[in-house]
Amino acid sequence: MQASVLWKPGGPEALRFGTVADPEPGPGEVLVRTRATSVNRLDVWIRQGTYRVPLPHILGVDLAGEVVHADVTGRWKEGDRVVAYPALSCGKCPSCRKGQESLCPTIGILGRERHGAYAELVAVPSENLYPLPDRVAWEAAGAFPLAYLTAEHTLSRAGVVAGETVVIFGASGGVGCAVLSRAVRRGARVIAVTGSPQLVPRLHVLGAEEVLMRGSGDLVERVQAATRGRGADVVVDTVGQLMWNTGLRALTRGGRYVIVGVTSGAEAPTELRLIYTRQLSVLGGFLGDRVDFVRLLEDLARGRINPQVAEVFPLGQAVEAHRRLDAPHLGKFVLRP
């Protein structure tokens, strides 16, 4: 099969496209022909060596494709359209038994703990596959799993309800767009923050009531002005270090801060008095549970989710897609074998 393979840590050029052996499914696994995947920040961190994996390695968290052979359980047959739940959990620990797979102590991710979807064929645990409705285009399906799973789980963790104000840092990225979409669906008022002025009109189209530019004036004052001095109920931060203290100061008393990404860095000094005197809650949002994924698939089937695709690349151009990730874009870069 053809695959884009990581041979050593480094820049985008560390990915090489070529022929490798077809994967052989193990017990309880299904062979899937990849029809679409997408580029995630996790792929970049693995490529750079932040997460160390045995090399050579095939990246790719998101998987949408077709079953190649019927599996022994009879659950899947050749040609079935499927999408993969990207979390790899043990299924046996107390968290898994309670349906909280994202808290599994041995949690893994497709494309990190095992070879992913930057390939024509992928071996996937049967239990991780779910039916993909015929009406969903491959490109949309490839942009869907990780971003929307993270968004849904994050908003649930934060307890976002109708009428609340949610500020999103990094709103134009894949996860940011998904958070925006799902927050609007919950009836929240969204203030999107981006560093790309050309994307402002498109963020309004997605449902943001206000769009603020990162680095143009005091963001805290602008959030205060947009909320009539009250501040935000929730901040969802995909950026990390750069926005941490700004986000804390932008919250109303009793507000909730959810960190879901660290694209600008993972360490930031904190004024702890700001947290306890204003009774702020700081939460982490990581992956999501199967119940989140099933709920999302129902909305995807009903056309209530429209994953934003910035551009589609052939799998052989994964290097270019990685290079483009730091340029202004809205949504996900999708790879198609």
Q: What is the pLDDT confidence band of residue 311, given thresholds at 50, 70 and 90?
A: very high
151 φ, ψ to 5°? Answer: -65, -50
Question: Do 39 and 321 form a contact (C-beta atoms < 8 A)?
Answer: yes
Question: Could you identify the residue written with the tokens 């209530």?
Answer: 304
137-156 pLDDT, tens per residue? Answer: 999 999 999 999 999 999 99
Pairing of strands 210-213, 189-194: parallel
290 φ, ψ to 5°? Answer: -60, -35
Cβ count within 10 A of residue 303: 10
278-303 pLDDT, tens per residue? Answer: 999 999 999 999 999 999 999 999 99
Q: What is the pLDDT confidence band of residue 250, given thresholds at 50, 70 and 90?
A: very high
Pairing of strands 232-237, 210-213: unpaired
Enumerate the β-bridge partners of residue 64.
36, 83
The least confident of 3-17, 85-99, 105-119, 255-269 is: 255-269
Domain boundaries, the chain: 2-144+307-336, 148-284
**pLDDT attached to residue 70:** 80
Cβ count within 10 A of residue 301: 15
| Mean per-residue pLDDT of the chain | 95
Check pLDDT > 90 for residue 266: no
Q: How far is CA 90 from its chain centroid?
A: 21
CATH topology of 2-144+307-336 equal to that of 148-284?
Answer: yes
Q: What is the pLDDT confidence band of residue 214, given thresholds at 50, 70 and 90?
A: confident
**pLDDT attached to residue 268:** 84
Check pLDDT > 90 for residue 265: no
Report the alpha-carbon distance of residue 99 to residue 171 in Å, rounded. Answer: 29
Share of the chain above pLDDT 90, in %: 89
* CATH code of the region 148-284: 3.90.180.10
Report the alpha-carbon distance of residue 47 to residue 140 in Å, rounded. Answer: 24
DSSP per-residue codes, 39-97 = --HHHHHHHHTSS---SSB---S--EEEESS--TTSS--TT-EEEE--EE--S-SHHHH
Which CATH superfamily includes the segment(s) 2-144+307-336? Answer: Medium-chain alcohol dehydrogenases, catalytic domain (3.90.180.10)
Report the alpha-carbon distance of residue 147 to residue 149 in Å, rounded. Answer: 6
Structure-token pair, residue 141: 């399906």
Q: How far is CA 129 from its chain centroid?
A: 18
**pLDDT attached to residue 74:** 80
> Three-class SS of residue 185?
helix
113-141 pLDDT, tens per residue? Answer: 999 999 999 999 999 999 999 999 999 99
**pLDDT attached to residue 282:** 96
Report the alpha-carbon distance of residue 122 to residue 328 in Å, rounded. Answer: 31
